[in-house]
Structure 1
Amino acid sequence: MGEPVGLRKRGNPPTRKPDTWTPDLLDKVAWRVDAANEPFRGVATSDGIRPGLFPRRATGADVSKVYRAAEDYLAGLTQDQLAEGRFPMDDVSWRHWNNGARYFLRHGLLLEEFDDAGRERALAVVRESLSADGYRQMVDLMRLNRTIGELCDNTHALNEWLYWFSLYGDPETGGPWGWQLDGHHVNINCVFVGDQMVLTPSFLGAEPVIAGSGKYAGTTAFRGEETLGHELFTQLDGRQRDRAVIADTMPAELVVGAFRDNGELDYQGLRLAEMSDGQRDTALQLLGLYVNRAGDHHARVRMEEVLAHEGDTHFGWAGDPDGTFYYRFHSPVILVEFEHMAGVFFDNDYPSRRHIHTIVRTPNGNDFGIDLLRRHHERHHKPRTAQPGRPS
């Protein structure tokens, strides 16, 4: 399938808060608000939530640096910034993250509006939470957002700093806390409960995936996720491919993307237990690209969690390995999706390798660390009733 050859000849969607909320804009926001206000359940199969998967426990991870980074960040904010950029743990804005360049439900503090020192304090919280590779990938995707802005001649609406940072909870007291980075193609949610960390939902994408020119020429994204996904499918024999293929056509978009916190999805595809040793190694290497976005210790803990359910981990595929494709991993504790997308800024109405979306979720109620938070409250606080649509 050929690559797109040009940009769409239309106005770019607004990324700043509109002066007037028109009926059309309000309609576009309404279903998102309704979805976020649904009582949180989590992504589950048609059998419902499987309980008991995420116990509270000590991991041994050294979280002192990230806690200190969060305290430094908060100490550097003005009272007005604190009022705008800090939220309680149960605030519904956790669930307002959304990919896209439009200004929908944005909250927190815009990185573009910080001075250099303030922006560095915000990014230090992110950097101390992620691995070096995970942080580099995030930065590269933000830079590719500027690349599309340069190609559209509209870096005011699309640039590397047009991302909103929000901090939740009480890192100063050692209580549960977390952060969210939200903007076009970078939407990361991170929660700490003691020394446990949950890094989902995390949506990452890019259009284009290679910067051929501009300020960040040479920047690339998702080379490993694409190459290893292709390699894994092509390693399968005919019978295995028949099991792995879950649809004749690729889905129109990711199945459990933004505002699908309560999505229902049954297991489909080829189980890792049905793969050869070599195929399994490729599958685990591919899964590692997503898991290892977390800092090293937390990534090891997370991979142990994933491997404990290896027998229930399914690999699903749709599309053409020689063209564009979709794949996912799905188990009781992790759900990963990768897809080649049609153009949004580029003038192609068919999927292309130039536009990629990915998401990682923790099924069965632990996105946003909500199951861990529930267990924390059961242990340390009197029972309380959760507000509809809000983490508890």
Structure 2
Amino acid sequence: MADEAVPGRRELAALMAEAAQAWLDTLTPEQRSVAVGAGPGDGPDDAERRRWFYTPTDHGGLTVHEQRPTQQRAAMRLVASGLSMAGYVTVATVMGLENVLDRVEGFVTIFDRERGRDPGLYYLRVFGDPATGTWGWRYGGHHVSLNNLVVDGELVATTPCFLGADPATSPLLGGALNRPLGRVEDLGRDLVRSLSPELAARAVLLDKAPSDFVTANRTTVSPGDRVIPLAGIWRDERFPDDEQQAKLQALSDAIDDAADFSEAGHAAVELTEDPQGVAGRDLDDGQREVLWALLGTYFDRVPEGVSPARAYDGPALDDVHVAWAGPTEPGAPHYYRLQGPGLLIEWDNTQRGANHAHSVWRDPSRDFGADLLAAHHARHH
């Protein structure tokens, strides 16, 4: 596709605004009261927009269940406007995995819900008025979190961008496997396994993996961040049913016990200001190609016009560091991190016998577009 044919940030913002308004126009007043949040700001009122989850909890907004089919179609059109085709297919597949997970777990009722694993519990919320040119939207549910901000008619932020898969691997007919994030996992492992013993010793921070990725669902990330237990990812929220809350805490404790992480282990993988691991500049040409392809499994989730992938097809790759924790054999619990200027990527596949994967792409200084939003308000207020 020629460069001039690729929609840029303004064109994508216009497509988003059109899709958002079309969805909002289908809603009843009662639905709109849930579907629309306060406009983006740079103060405490913006806290809701910057609250995000990847667990099966209330993400805030109007669920698929609460919409008629025509409304659902309009909602998914908005979701699609923020994704590449591959990104959209992956999101749709991850949502469908709720049905698979329901069978894996025996179709039980959990999490104080009528249905424990539910492909209808994905939430969409628009923040502000798309007609104003400064607004945002969020779509999320179990293992999906998409966060987009438009400022002055330009799409300025698409992170945090989270995708997970549970099961990470499941059977298809004819012996094929359904692995929505398979390349996201395999490219990372291939890269680390290709390193010389000297570089591998620098890249592998620890011989065991943490129970989850280090930054979890923090609104902002900072040096010194460490793994949060599963129960803590719900933040201050509790299940109304004490029995369900106790089950969550027991599950959280079991995951931590299985990880068996010591103080030294937490210290080894905690987030640091200076990236740990091996820098891209130390890799050979073939390894750099694998690293660039691995970055693409994150950057190419969004439309080409806002993907930073091309910026890393050159010297910028020098400063991207690769770090790993856990064994490198396929099937073993493992974790990796890619970190550099304006970049933090984390992956883990540790739970359910390394068949439950998480992946997140963040820009620590610009997540949720906080810096550009502050600049906008400084100019206009």
Q: AA paired with 1:94?
A: R
Q: Does 1:273 find its partner at 2:281?
A: yes
Query: Partner of 1:36 in structure 2?
Result: none
Q: CA deviation at 1:331?
A: 1.0
Distance 1:150 1:197, change over 3 A: farther
1:1-392 superposed matches below 5 A: 59=9, 61-88=11-38, 89-90=40-41, 91-101=46-56, 103=57, 106-151=59-104, 152-154=106-108, 156-173=115-132, 175-193=133-151, 194-212=153-171, 219-259=178-218, 261-264=220-223, 265-266=271-272, 267-299=275-307, 301=308, 303-304=310-311, 309-322=316-329, 323-343=332-352, 352-364=353-365, 366-379=366-379, 381-382=380-381
Return the TM-score normalized by structure 2: 0.75
Please tell me whether the aligned partners of residues 201 and 361 of structure 1 are also in contact (alpha carbons under 8 angstroms): yes
State the Cα deviation string for residues 42-62 of structure 1 (Å, max 9, x = none). Answer: xxxxxxxxxxxxxxxx85654
**Post-superposition offset of 1:75:** 1.2
- Whether the 8 Å CA contact 1:180–1:189 is kept in 2: the answer is yes
Structure 1 pair 159/213, CA: closer, same or farther in 2 (3 Å)? Answer: farther
For the residues of structure 2 that align with 1:362 and 1:142, how far apart are their CA atoms?
Answer: 25
Q: Quick one: structure 1 residues 375 and 308, their matched pair in 2 at CA, closer, same or farther if it must change by over 3 Å?
A: farther
Structure 2: give runs of 5+ residues left out of the alignment: 1-7, 110-114, 224-270
Q: In structure 1, how many angstroms separate the alpha carbons of the residues matched to 2:59 and 2:12?
A: 32
Report the secondary structure of 1:336's partner residue.
strand
Distance 1:218 1:243 in 2: 33
C-alpha distance in 2 between matches for 1:63 and 1:165: 17
Asked if structure 1 preserves the Cα contact closer than 8 Å seen for 2:9 and 2:156, the reply is no
Amino acid at match of 2:137: W
Q: Deviations over 1:164-203 (max 9, x none)?
A: 1111122112x22221112111122122223233221122
Once the two structures are superposed, what CA deviation does each residue of 1:128-178 show, in whole Å capped at 9, x if it has no partner?
1110000111111111112111332148221222111111122112x2222
Contact 2:172 2:178 in 1 (8 A): no
Pick the structure with more helix per residue. Answer: 2
Mapped to 1, the partners of 2:315 and 2:372 lie a distance apart of 18
Q: Secondary structure at the match of 1:133?
A: helix
The 1:98–1:367 alpha-carbon spacing in structure 2 relative to 1, beyond 3 Å, is same
Residues 61 and 298 in structure 1, CA contact (< 8 A), matched pair in contact too: no
Which deviates more from structure 2 when the two are superposed, residues 80-89 or residues 245-254? 245-254
Contact 1:140 1:219 in 2 (8 A): no
Contact 1:95 1:259 (C-alpha < 8 Å) held by counterparts? no
Distance between the aligned counterparts of 1:129 and 1:167, measured in 2?
A: 13
Instruction: Assess if the C-alpha contact under 8 Å between 1:309 and 1:331 holds in 2.
Output: no
Partners of 1:330 and 1:137 in 2: how far apart?
Answer: 24
Provide the alpha-carbon RMSD of the alignment.
2.3
- Which is further off, 333-342 or 286-295? 333-342
Partner residue, 2:230 = none
- Alpha-carbon distance in structure 2 between the residues aligned to 1:61 and 1:333: 24
Counterpart of 2:323, as a letter, is: G
Match of 2:131, SS?
helix
- AA aligned to 1:153 is F
Alignment length (residue pairs): 309
- For the 8 Å contact 1:168–1:177, the answer to whether it is kept is yes
Aligned-pair CA distance for 1:76 = 1.2
| Percent identical residues | 30
Q: Which has the higher contact order (CA 8 A, sep 6+)?
A: 1
| Structure 1: unaligned runs, 5 residues or longer | 1-57, 344-351, 383-392
Q: CA shift at 1:248, angstroms?
A: 3.3
